[in-house]
């Protein structure tokens, strides 16, 4: 089940760490977020190193839909209501700056970068679309209303963001990784202030960035309360039309569409990890209904960390951990969020002021409705008298028949049928019980 990205590029290989290393900044995690942080720091002349437990961009990044956009669903009306106009404006500004940074970098990289309009549509609520357009008008961004879309189903309306983009994420990652101080197959086993013990040696660093998708330290920051994970499924279809843009349903469980060369990428079937959902079966049904002449050429799934309020956690890991930083909770918008994180964290590490800091601060309030849902799922799972159980915090695992895996509904850890870890926050070497 390889994505179209892994089928069409060969990633560079990097050595494993052997022995002791001293550096100013250590970045832990070699997905797009960690890679961009290391790249940004190196561009600023900072001595840094990046360690990845497996292969560079071999986790969530290789399974992204690779949309470069600051249109993140119906985000801005929500942000205006919960955080106010200034923070909503700064969120938009951060992600718009991220898109422009990609635009500049991709001008010199053969990564299939294409400008495309982005649409968030609703199949049943014109009012929600109109509210989002009004919010964007208040923030000074000129988005458009669209009703007739080149999609095989009617919509109540859509918000159009012009001149967004899409690309091949692994071609981009392979290009910017060249020359960076990367160590693959180097797993961090223990963290202490200024020090990381790995399976290949000890790294001493003045500052550390944790970019491991789900943060790896439980005793600081409360991320096991602030995050849960969501799975999404993808089909690549041949002999399907060009939809002339990037589309996402305003509903968290709706369909997304974009083209890559001669393929249509159809996403959906989403559900909380460890819970039931549509999965590939739902997508297969949609493909038969909408594109009966199409042929499937690839399928894959991905997993996203979801924050309590829809805004990523980027900044100091916790109030009690100076010199330790985190980036997580991209809410399915990892490409622009990762670039915004790289810019912000670089500024924080270099001691420069950045107006985005308060928007993404990991220590902001956790008093959101999603917290109660997370606590309920955890309590329900902990009280379920079944085995196997997740070694992360003891939650009961659920069998995922579609992917033949055991999944945790509390925090999203996943294991294969033999008990080997697939996705964190559980740790390698601690198989399911």
Question: Rounded CA gap, 415 and 398, in Å?
Answer: 10
Shared-domain flag, residues 245 and 279? yes
Domain stops at, among 360, 380, 400: 360
* Residue 99 included in any domain: no
Shared-domain flag, residues 20 and 152? no
What does each C-alpha distance from 331 to 162, 187, 309, 358 come to in angstroms?
22, 25, 9, 18
Domain stops at, among 342, 360, 378: 360
The answer to whether residue 15 scores a pLDDT higher than 90 is yes
**E strands of 290-341, at which residues?**
295-306, 313-316, 324-328
Shared-domain flag, residues 31 and 152? no
Q: Which two tokens stand for residue 200?
A: 């290949």
Three-state SS at 23:
strand
CATH of the domain at 331: 3.50.50.60
Domain stops at, among 289, 304, 319: 304
Q: Answer for the pair 16, 198: CB distance below 8 angstroms, yes or no.
A: no
Shared-domain flag, residues 234 and 292? yes
Residue 19: what pLDDT?
A: 97
pTM, two decimals, is 0.95
The answer to whether residue 430 scores a pLDDT higher than 60 is no
* b/e burial code for range 53-63 (CB count within 10 A of at least 16 → b): beebbbbbbbb
Q: Answer for the pair 99, 68: CB distance below 8 angstroms, yes or no.
A: yes
* Residue 83 included in any domain: no
* Residue 273 included in any domain: yes
What does each C-alpha distance from 210 to 5, 190, 214, 326, 337 come to in angstroms?
25, 13, 9, 5, 15
The answer to whether residue 352 scores a pLDDT higher than 60 is yes
Residue 253: what pLDDT?
A: 83
Q: How many domains does the chain have?
A: 3
Shared-domain flag, residues 160 and 233? yes
- Among the residue ranges 70-74, 216-220, 235-239, 427-431, the one predicted with the least confidence is 427-431
Characterize the bridge pairing of strands 414-416 and 405-407: antiparallel
Three-state SS at 318:
coil
Q: 404: burial class by Cβ within 10 Å (0-12, 13-18, 19+)?
A: exposed
Q: Which two tokens stand for residue 150?
A: 């080149």
Helices (H), 15-164: 32-43, 75-83, 85-106, 126-138
Q: What is the mean pLDDT of the chain?
A: 95
pLDDT digits 0-9 by tens, 152-184: 999 999 999 999 999 999 999 999 999 999 999
Strands, sheet with 405-407, edge to edge from the N-terminal-most edge strand: 398-400, 405-407, 414-416, 421-423
The answer to whether residue 342 scores a pLDDT higher than 60 is yes
Q: Which two tokens stand for residue 340?
A: 């915004």
Rg for the chain, CA atoms, rounded: 21
Shared-domain flag, residues 295 and 211? no
* Residue 60 included in any domain: yes
* Residue 187 included in any domain: yes
CATH of the domain at 150: 3.30.9.10
CATH of the domain at 399: 2.102.10.10
Shared-domain flag, residues 13 and 137? no
Find all residues with CB under 8 Å of 267, minimum gap 6, and list them: 65, 232, 233, 234, 235, 255, 256, 257, 283
The answer to whether residue 357 scores a pLDDT higher than 50 is yes
Residue 341: what pLDDT?
A: 98
Residue 224: what pLDDT?
A: 93
Shared-domain flag, residues 298 and 314? no
Shared-domain flag, residues 245 and 195? no
Q: How far apart are the first and last CA of the chain?
A: 27
* Residue 433 included in any domain: no
pLDDT digits 0-9 by tens, 256-295: 999 999 999 999 999 999 998 899 999 999 999 999 999 9
Question: Rounded CA gap, 60 and 250, in Å?
Answer: 22
Shared-domain flag, residues 222 and 266? no
Q: Which two tokens stand for residue 370?
A: 């999603």
Residue 431: what pLDDT?
A: 52
For residue 198, the cross-strand partners are 188, 201
For residue 204, the cross-strand partners are 22, 195
User: What is the 8-class DSSP label of residue 396?
Assistant: B
* Residue 77 included in any domain: no
Residue 387: what pLDDT?
A: 77
Shared-domain flag, residues 291 and 239? yes
Which range marks the domain in which residue 221 is found?
Answer: 4-64+171-226+309-360
Residue 428: what pLDDT?
A: 59
Residue 432: what pLDDT?
A: 44
Shared-domain flag, residues 146 and 256? yes
* Residue 211 included in any domain: yes
Count of alpha carbons within 13 Å of 346, Cβ hemisphere only? 22
């Amino acid at each position: 089940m390889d994505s179209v990205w892994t089928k069409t590029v060969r990633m560079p290989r990097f050595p494993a760490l052997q022995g002791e290393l001293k550096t100013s900044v250590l970045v832990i995690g070699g997905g797009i977020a960690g890679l961009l942080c290391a790249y940004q720091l190196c561009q600023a002349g900072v001595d840094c190193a990046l360690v990845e437990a497996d292969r560079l961009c071999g986790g969530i990044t290789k399974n992204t839909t690779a949309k470069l956009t600051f249109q993140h669903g119906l985000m801005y009306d929500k942000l205006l209501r919960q955080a106010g106009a200034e923070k909503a404006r700064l969120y938009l500004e951060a992600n718009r700056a991220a898109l422009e940074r990609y635009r500049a970098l991709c001008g010199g990289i053969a990564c299939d970068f294409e400008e495309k309009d982005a649409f968030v549509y609703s199949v049943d609520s014109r009012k929600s679309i109109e509210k989002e357009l009004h919010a964007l008008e208040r923030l000074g961004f000129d988005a458009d209303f669209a009703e007739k879309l080149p999609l095989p189903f009617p919509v109540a309306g859509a918000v159009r963001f012009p001149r967004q983009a899409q690309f091949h994420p692994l071609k981009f990652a392979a290009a910017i990784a060249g020359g960076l101080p990367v160590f693959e197959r180097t797993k961090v086993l223990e963290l202490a202030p200024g020090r990381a013990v790995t399976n290949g040696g000890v790294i001493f660093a003045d500052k550390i960035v944790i970019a491991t998708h789900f943060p790896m330290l439980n005793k600081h920051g409360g991320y096991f309360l602030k995050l849960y994970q969501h799975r999404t499924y993808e089909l690549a279809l041949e002999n399907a039309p060009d939809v002339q843009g990037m589309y996402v349903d305003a509903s968290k469980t709706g369909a997304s569409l974009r083209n890559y060369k001669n393929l249509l990428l159809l996403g959906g079937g989403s559900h909380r990890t460890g819970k039931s959902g549509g999965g590939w079966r739902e997508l297969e049904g949609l493909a038969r209904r909408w594109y009966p002449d199409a042929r499937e050429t690839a399928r894959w799934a991905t997993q996203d960390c979801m924050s309590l309020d829809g805004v990523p956690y980027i900044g100091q890991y916790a109030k009690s951990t100076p010199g330790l930083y985190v980036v997580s909770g991209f809410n399915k918008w990892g490409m622009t969020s990762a670039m915004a994180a790289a810019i912000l964290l670089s500024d924080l590490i270099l001691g420069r002021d950045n107006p985005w800091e308060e928007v993404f601060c990991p220590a902001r309030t956790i008093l959101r409705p999603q917290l109660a849902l997370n606590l309920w799922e955890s309590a329900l799972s902990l009280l379920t008298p079944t085995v196997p159980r997740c070694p992360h915090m003891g939650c009961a695992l659920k069998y995922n028949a579609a992917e033949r895996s055991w999944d945790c509904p509390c925090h999203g850890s996943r294991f294969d049928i033999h008990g080997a870890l697939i996705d964190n926050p559980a740790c390698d070497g601690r198989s399911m019980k």
